[in-house]
Amino acid sequence: MRIIFFGTPDFSVPTLAALLTSEHQVLGVVTQPDKRRGRGSDLIPSPIKQLALDANLPIWQPTRIKQDKKVIEALQACGADVFVVVAYGQILSQEILNIPKLGCINNHASLLPCYRGAAPIQWALYHGEPETGITTMLMDAGMDTGAMLLTVKTPIRLEDNAATLGARLAGLGANLLLETLAQFPRLTPIPQDPTQATYAPLIKKPDYELAWSRSALDLHNQVRGFYPYCQTQLLGQTLKITKTLPLTTDVITELLEKLQAWVNQSESDPQGIGNTVAILKGLGPVVQTGQGQLLIQEVQPAGKKRQSGWDFANGLRLTVGQAWS
């Protein structure tokens, strides 16, 4: 098939890379404009643009594609069979969706109709889902409402975070997209059931704030879902929490043997929510939550690099009883 690829972040790269080594022809790439990043505020191309440059592909970077007549006309002139869209970052108008001969196929990082929207991986982790996956669908003008083509599932592990799960899903999505194209003439699109739909909205700054009155498992899901941005206060300083482990009976079988022993012998203190209740050698501090205790495995102090919870506790000379807020 003759394909134009729409995508922007690292998550999109495996799919474009797979298409470039397949029997299909990639005619060009549409990606978001370069962004200024770093101390020098240099313009940095998206990961997809970099891959497209390496492959000598035509590249379009409209600020608002629905209003860019020149880009729309260029896409119309390509004679594409299919547009493939993977985490592009802009909504396509019906005018654009109508351009390819066979339609627009989207890789969405959830088991639709659950978690439609901008951040399906993050919210699936936040809500403690046991599994997630990739759905390929025919795009329509709605927000991830198109008829479904194929799905692939993967379990969500206790140690997964948005980065590790995203990388796994990106690889699965690349394979599923090739399978979808291979089967495309024979596939029967399946309409989504709107009564089963859930949503994954954009993440906002308040979502990063940790409240120790929540349960240990809920806090763990928040930290890994919104990785690496969740934060708290300790000794008057802002501290990012980037890796945790809930020390609770509902996940005890997934813990190391010595942590299983800790769960079995420790007692929660409902009056000491947010307090350091222990510092486990080689592991890090343990904080009392509203339900259960949370091991802090990795942190990032303001202006510093990430470090293990154990190194952080030693460097700060953290003691039992000190409060996190």
Task: Give me the residue spans of the domains in the chain.
Answer: 2-200, 205-316
**Looking at residue 137, what DSSP letter applies?**
E
Residue 39 confidence (pLDDT) above 70: no
pLDDT at 119: 97
Residues 223, 244: contact at Cβ < 8 Å? yes
For domain 205-316, give its CATH number from 3.30.300.30, 3.60.110.10, 3.10.25.10, 3.40.50.300.
3.10.25.10
111 is in an annotated binding site: yes
For residues 174-196, average pLDDT: 97
Mean pLDDT of 26-48: 89
Residues 6+ positions from 258 with CB-CB distance below 8 Å: none
CATH 3.40.50.170 fits 2-200, yes or no: yes
Crossing angle of helices 162-183 and 13-20, in 10° steps, is 30
* 313-322 pLDDT tens trace: 999 999 999 9
β-pairing, 237-247 vs 293-301, is antiparallel
Q: Grade residue 157 by pLDDT with cuts at 50, 70 and 90.
A: very high
**What per-residue confidence (pLDDT) applies to 113?**
98
Please report, for residues 11, 129, 160, 197, 242, the alpha-carbon distance to residue 133 in angstroms, rounded to integers and kept in the order given: 14, 11, 14, 15, 23
pLDDT digits (tens, 9 = 90+) for 88-127: 999 999 999 999 999 999 999 999 999 999 999 999 999 9
Average pLDDT over residues 1-6: 98
For residue 27, say whether it is annotated as part of any ligand binding site: no
Annotated binding residue 113? yes
The dihedral of CA 312, 266, 277, 288: what is its sign?
positive
- Tell me the C-alpha distance between 167 and 186, whole Å: 29
CA angle (64 as vertex; 63, 69 as ends), nearest 5: 105
Enter the DSSP assignment of 143: S
DSSP 46-107: -HHHHHHHHTT--EE--SSGGG-HHHHHHHHHT--SEEEEES-SSPPPHHHHTSSSSEEEEE
Residue 104, number of CB atoms within 10 A of its CB: 22
| Model confidence, pTM | 0.94
Q: Is 19 annotated as a binding residue?
A: no
In sequence order, what are the residues at sequence separation of 6 or more whose Cβ sits closer than 8 angstroms to the Cβ of residue 256?
Answer: none
Q: What is the pLDDT of residue 266?
A: 82
Taking a C-beta distance cutoff of 8 angstroms, is the pair 4, 28 a contact? yes
Q: What is the pLDDT of residues 226-276, one digit of tens each?
A: 999 999 999 889 999 999 999 998 888 888 888 888 888 887 777 789 999
Helix (H, G, I), strand (E, B) or coil at 207: helix
Give residue 36's pLDDT. Answer: 79
Mean pLDDT on 71-95: 97
Contact indicator for 285, 276 with CB cutoff of 8 Å: yes
Percent of the chain with pLDDT over 90: 88
